[in-house]
């Protein structure tokens, strides 16, 4: 049986969330500023869901959503820093 994995934006909480079968598995928190910059401050995946690539899926979605919203990316969280350095996000970073 396959798991239902969903990623969504929770702007009221200033974070992106990933759920597995309806249970919160991880978050990517941010702060937006007046200069159209979204600063990613922390990423967390619960231990029970670790090692399954959920953090990467969560951050990929968060970064893509940020670019689609016309915002620039500031990577403060070390996990997001690594994703930005390793992948295609360079032109969108501060």
17-65 pLDDT, tens per residue? 999 999 999 999 999 998 999 999 999 999 999 999 999 999 999 999 9
Query: Edge to edge, what strands does the sheet with 23-32 contain?
Result: 5-10, 15-20, 23-32, 37-45, 72-75
pLDDT at site 65: 97
Residue whose token pair is 């899926």: 57
Q: In this structure, are residues 63 and 7 in contact, taking their beta carbons and an 8 Å threshold?
A: no
What would the mean pLDDT of 67-84 be, rounded to a whole number?
A: 94
pTM: 0.92
CATH number, position 74:
3.40.630.30
pLDDT at site 11: 97
Residue 68 lies in domain: 5-92
pLDDT at site 1: 63
Q: How many domains does the chain have?
A: 1
């Amino acid at each position: 049986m396959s798991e239902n994995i969903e990623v969504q934006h929770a702007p009221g909480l200033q974070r992106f969330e990933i759920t597995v079968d309806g249970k919160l598995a991880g978050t990517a928190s941010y702060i937006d500023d007046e200069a159209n910059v979204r600063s990613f401050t922390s990423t967390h995946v619960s231990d029970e869901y670790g090692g399954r690539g959920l953090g990467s899926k969560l951050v990929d979605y968060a970064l893509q959503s940020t670019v689609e919203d016309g915002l620039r990316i500031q990577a403060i969280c070390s996990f997001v820093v690594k994703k930005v350095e390793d992948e295609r996000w360079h032109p969108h970073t501060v």
